[in-house]
Homo-oligomer: A and B are copies of this chain.
Amino acid sequence: MDRRQEILEAAEKSFSLFGYKATTMDQVAKIANVGKGTIYTFFANKEELFNAIVLKMINEMRAEADAVSVEGAPFEQNAHARLMQMLKFRGTHQLYAKLIDEEKELRTPAVGEVLQAIEKEIIFYVKEKIEKGIAKGEVFPCDTELVAYILFKAYLALVSDWGKTHDEELSEERIAALLKGTIFKSLLI
């Protein structure tokens, strides 16, 4: 069996279940049925192993976001579906959710960095889609970096922040209606 793969799977399991800090290298070695030293022949240290897992997760997320978009559908519909999917992923995916929790509770630096990197990746993804929309003539030319940023932050606020200060979450319909009437309305040609 591929030892590197075994280690990756073991690490993913452990990070997802216990988070970054509470995962020990001994733990990972045990789950992977591998001597601890072996891990270090494939990964320089704990953080690099962690980064490898997170990279894998980012690709999953990207794939899921692509999966909910419909070829040929209008920009607004696909953009909304993609962002909602990524934010659903954010709150649902075991590892991602665990990391958000760990960042809030423990402030583990490695986790903070990784979360920031994921966010950057999402914004980059959104930016790409906006540029594609502009190229297709569906979207007004604009400051794509900033528009991607504000779109992500808006969705994040509505999907995730709102619930923290109000007793019930916003429905997807209300979110869709608001953005249709504000940001998207002025973005679309």
Binding site for B on A (CB under 8 A): 116, 119-120, 140, 142-143, 146-147, 149-150, 153-154, 157-158, 161-162, 165, 170, 174, 177-178, 181-183, 185-187
Contacts and interface: CB of A to CB of B under 8 A. Distances in A.
The 10 A-B residue pairs whose C-beta atoms are closest, nearest first, are: A185-B186, A153-B157, A186-B186, A146-B178, A182-B186, A182-B183, A150-B154, A143-B178, A142-B181, A183-B183
Interface residues of chain A: helix, strand, loop or mixed (majority): helix
A98 to B, nearest CB: 20
Give the number of copies in the complex.
Answer: 2
A178 B187 CA distance: 11
Given A147-B178, A149-B158, A149-B162, 17 more contacts: A119-B165, A120-B165, A142-B181, A143-B174, A143-B177, A149-B157, A150-B154, A150-B158, A150-B178, A150-B182, A153-B153, A154-B154, A157-B157, A182-B183, A182-B186, A185-B185, A185-B186
Contacts of A157: 149-150, 153, 157
Pick from A162, A177, A181 the residue with the most CB of B within 10 Å.
A181
Contacts of A154: 150, 153-154
Contacts of A116: 165
